[in-house]
Amino acid sequence: MENPAAPLVHTRQGSVMGSTEADFYVWRGIPFAAPPVGSLRWQAPRPVEPWQDVRMATQFSAASWQNSEYCQQVGGGDPGQFSEDCLYLNVWAPRVREKALPVMVWLHGGGFTIGSGGLPPYDGKQLASRGVVLVTVNYRLGHLGFFAHPALEEESGERLYNFGLLDQIAALRWVQQNIALFGGDAAKVTLFGESAGARSVMALMASPLAKGLFHKGIIQSSYTLPDTPRASALARGEAIAAHFGLHNASAAELRNIPADAFWPLAAPLKIAPAPIAGDKVLPETTLDVFFAGRQHPMPVIIGSNSDEASVMAEFGVDLAGQIEKMRRQQRLGLGIIRLLYPGVRGDAELGRQVCRDMAFTTLGLVVMQAQQRVGQPCWRYWFDYVAQAAHGTYINGAWHGNEVPYVFDNLLLSEPSCHYVNDDDLAFAAHIADYWVAFARAEPLVEVLPGPVHWRAAVRGRDRLLRIGLNKHAGFRLVKRFMRARLGFFRRVMRHHVKLD
């Protein structure tokens, strides 16, 4: 059936008017929670105050406060204006549909410190054209989104630190209440994200507060960095208050710190790129929940890229230095690692591969085994495709985040790919988007996703993975026991809480 000629929707909170763009309706900047400003800073998001007049939903909202230059360099583009008043979402839907469509909700990455749902790579038209309703979400970032201090605990009488995750939960509740009005099926919600967005998907799969709000998860390049312990987060909060001259600070004094004063803070006062464990949102660490197989049961896709260590170098990790540190401290059994990486020469290359696999690749095995414990399918992938004109730039494979414009089929909207991609690259991206939408549209008992290669889930102890891109070239291949010896070793290391520092 065809939707009304004008994209006017009467949500529970009020009416919103979007725009018509080719075969799509687009609504930008719909509020899903009250502005978390003033006394609502560092509180769980509150319901939106209903409005009477039609609200124009044609412009993206402001993003949470962040480093604009850094976001433009590595975060996907210009996030635009900043404000604490940032809790808005965006919806893309086909104008013509025969029935309620599956919903895909995107959580952007950026280390929990940069990004927004309105960045160009996340434009939802290409995914919506495949028969889904696409939602992108803003959430509080940095210290505005993840902050602990004794004064806030005393004020509220409960432990709440992960305000950014609470924002994501509020957006999912909005989806449950309203998405049918936009043509979506609230019983078929796939939550997907990359990097910090993927870590958020995992955190919500582990959070008791998110149970039942989504039904499938896609985890793109999440990482094994532990959640921040409550004690460490509280100590950091007190150190930040002291930095601003506030000793024994009250909650009101903390809220008087200007919003733009937080993001320039340097280590050790910046937040870690991981949530805080020990509050109402995450009573225990995300990884402990998955190791124990207590995550919310649902079908999952998980994977990572062939040169994830690129982002670690961006954060100042000396990859070769990590191998030298292992040699000096005799950590992890360097001799074993040499056996696991035969033919890899030099500390720089060995460090790149070891750090990649410890921080990223191993998580695929951990989640696969957790999924098998709860009797749910897990589709694993390894993304190694590089656009043909960029082989000289990405000499070690696909960087952290490089798969995102392929998933959205938005290579022509994304920097820097829009300057050099060719028809072969575009065709390859279309296959990736097809797989992701096939997963969102699949019935619960499906274990094979259609595509250039039938992508079979890892179920009943079967360790399978889809190679996406083979040595940087177009191609798909289903393989068994991918890097199993390496990943099994690092999984044991993770289980005993040994990590790179």
Domains, in order of start, for the chain = 1-298 (3.40.50.1820), 310-429+449-501 (no CATH)
* Whole-angstrom distance, CA of residue 133 vs CA of residue 92: 6
Tokens of residue 457, six digits = 């889930």
pLDDT band, very low/low/confident/very high, at 454 (cuts 50, 70, 90): very high
Residue partners of 445: CB distance under 8 A and separation at least 6: none
Is the pLDDT reported for residue 501 higher than 60?
no
Count of residues in the chain: 501
Q: Which of 400, 403, 414, 417 is catalytic?
A: 400
Q: Is 355 left (phi over 0), alpha (psi -120 to 50) or beta?
A: alpha
Is the pLDDT reported for residue 243 higher than 70?
yes
Concerning whether 61 is annotated as a catalytic residue, the answer is no
pLDDT band, very low/low/confident/very high, at 185 (cuts 50, 70, 90): very high
Concerning whether 10 is annotated as a catalytic residue, the answer is no
* 421 and 412 Cβ atoms separated by less than 8 Å: yes
Query: Is the peptide bond preceding residue 275 cis, with omega within 30 degrees of 0?
Result: no
Q: Is 244 left (phi over 0), alpha (psi -120 to 50) or beta?
A: alpha
Among the listed residues 217, 221, 165, 152, the one whose alpha carbon sits nearest the alpha carbon of residue 191: 217
Q: Which of 61, 64, 116, 195 is catalytic?
A: 195
Amino acid 253 reads: E
pTM score of the predicted model: 0.94
pLDDT band, very low/low/confident/very high, at 63 (cuts 50, 70, 90): confident
Q: Specify the 3-state DSSP secondary structure of 177.
A: helix
Amino acid 120 reads: P
Mean pLDDT of the chain: 92
Q: Which of 84, 153, 238, 308 is catalytic?
A: 308
pLDDT at 369: 95
Comparing 3-17, 252-266, 443-457, the range with the smallest average pLDDT is 3-17
269-276 average pLDDT score: 93
* 194 and 406 Cβ atoms separated by less than 8 Å: no
DSSP run (H or E) holding 203: helix 196-206
Is the pLDDT reported for residue 430 higher than 60?
yes
pLDDT at 267: 87
Query: Is the peptide bond preceding residue 268 cis, with omega within 30 degrees of 0?
Result: yes
Each residue's pLDDT tens digit, 358-401? 999 999 999 999 999 999 999 999 999 999 999 999 999 999 99
Tokens of residue 61, six digits = 């909202």
* 172 and 185 Cβ atoms separated by less than 8 Å: no
* 400 and 308 Cβ atoms separated by less than 8 Å: yes
Which residues lie across from 480 on neighbouring strands?
464
135-143 average pLDDT score: 97
Is the pLDDT reported for residue 431 higher than 90?
yes
Q: Is 105 left (phi over 0), alpha (psi -120 to 50) or beta?
A: beta
Comparing 16-30, 68-82, 267-281, the range with the smallest average pLDDT is 68-82
Is the pLDDT reported for residue 497 higher than 60?
no
Q: Interhelix angle for 362-373 vs 484-495, to 10°?
A: 80
pLDDT band, very low/low/confident/very high, at 459 (cuts 50, 70, 90): confident
Determine phi and psi for 286, rounding to 5 degrees.
Answer: -60, -45
Scanning the structure block, which residue is given the tokens 């039609």?
54
pLDDT band, very low/low/confident/very high, at 498 (cuts 50, 70, 90): very low
Each residue's pLDDT tens digit, 192-207? 999 999 999 999 999 9
User: Looking only at Cα atoms, what is the longest distance across the chain?
Assistant: 69
Concerning whether 195 is annotated as a catalytic residue, the answer is yes
* 320 and 351 Cβ atoms separated by less than 8 Å: yes
Tokens of residue 180, six digits = 């049918």
Percent of the chain topping pLDDT 90: 79
Each residue's pLDDT tens digit, 302-336? 999 999 998 887 777 888 888 888 777 666 667 78
pLDDT at 337: 85
Is the pLDDT reported for residue 2 higher than 50?
no
Is the pLDDT reported for residue 500 higher than 60?
no
